[in-house]
Structure 1
């Protein structure tokens, strides 16, 4: 149950400060005037970034959740969300907060109110209007000792303001669970998943019984050196990189620069994780960019009918001059991993079309021509888990 205003708390509820030991999946917590803002890039990386799209994406808490042990039957969470509005495009759904008890989904809610960011699709410019704090209330929980997780919205910036319960709260030790560090694009960020626990990395992490740290950034998987250093410096038992689609749809690199950039990214990562299992995943099927370079641009004919969609604006003939397509990237990533794996036995490769390929694209087309829907996220998560976490897989126990 969710309300768009902050109601008076039940007298029996007591506040617990939200500290680092209650938050999973964030690299840093920034103290703001309202509370705590989870970040998925550290301050040093954010200081080197000049891209407002990446700044927005890393502050959206995909994979971030509160986790604690309690006997509470009532949990209240005050948050200040930031809603995004794209004039001319269909309204975006509200971000979803999902509550789990002992690993089982129990309830979900949305936070009404909050700040509103209006983004111009043509220029990328944005303006923000301040709004009220929201309170999420989860009641009628079992009054026994239990682990409680609240998954924060994967697609909505969320400042954590206050946590109240009717019983004491204690941090939960990670125990035996391995930490899986993943980096990718908006598809890894969550795109059009139904909720934060059903993005494909979140689904795969539950199947594999691992602790997810999701550094999937909408529009931001661009082989940035500061992202490589963030991955290098983050403790992890397992690492995966999903590389490709953003490099095409931003038309950022040519083939001559792409290979050395991948090598440099992997070299930096290996400075901190020399023997950690590392899985490089190439792009999933995306028909508009299989053999046509970027950039990806909004399809204005779709927008005129109230639908958000994208088109490939490049020329296939330009691949001869080094422009990147998804097929070019897949071939180069396979070559690079094969070359490096002769000296790096912990380096693995997965063709992204094993997660979503041509037959899937025919059955479940990408709704906007770039991003998978909720059903496809579930399929991708299950397939990744079957590939990576099974005996003999790159992430086998």
Structure 2
């Protein structure tokens, strides 16, 4: 399958699925039918050419799959499909785009975070079960069960294919954005395995976030998340050496950063910040922009970054923000002040045994000249991480302090 066909299918998948769910209900049956239609297109279009109306083609094939499925159900379903089958699939093709509604459905609060991730990538992203399973290092059968249970849970919860009521919409949108951010983070720094990053996942997260931004262009946090992804992913070519060795931000060759992505991200956050009180994604994007606009690491405006982290801590306090805030503070007030800031995290169950806390403490101790302590903490961080590139980097830092 060519890249252009794959891109077109992934863009059309949520539109086709939204159309079918709005007409027929039954999320699980419609999603299965759309996946079969996507598979048929992936097999036929590269050799036969993309049809003049690709969306209509996919809807037609998916409706046929639904018809076949309904005919195998009970008599009531057969009577329903007799009526449905009289309709031309062309009648279903409208200008309405139900993609945002589909996002909300896949991120239904009745689902676990893992299920929201899987269902969003499958139904909205158009990825196959095998692709999603590979992305999260689980067997395909396990991922298939997870997706199946998620669809059944949505059905049991009586979820309707409609936008959430206004009083729920903001909270539900935050879930959608959190799912997209999790997909991006898993791609940018793979949590386990031999690869440092998964460009397919970061690209998919950016694509889907662009789609939400297209649907909600006035939402500052959507724009902030897109800017954050662009500004972060722009550094990807410089994050590792050809042999896979991790390169920290301060040592990266900034000429390798993707300039168009940087420019787009900076423009997006610059136009978004003045529009109202900034949210967490906007503030994180602003921090990323300060880093990315510095010609060299030595030129970084650390006081501005510290100020932004102080604001972020007040808007969205969490231990990872504290950890990053401490790193920035060390560049302004020195490592000892930063070590004091992270000391309370030892009592936070979310961070106490996280490799990032050990790694940051090691970095700060090294900067403070406490080499033996730093070596021990680098070694501990290496043991705690499940990412092989990170493990090798941390082990090399420990070895250098012997």
TM > 0.5 fold call: no
**Structure with more strand by fraction:** 1
**Structure with more helix by fraction:** 2
Please report the TM-score for the alignment, with normalisation by the length of structure 2.
0.30
Please report the TM-score for the alignment, with normalisation by the length of structure 1.
0.30
Rg larger for: 2
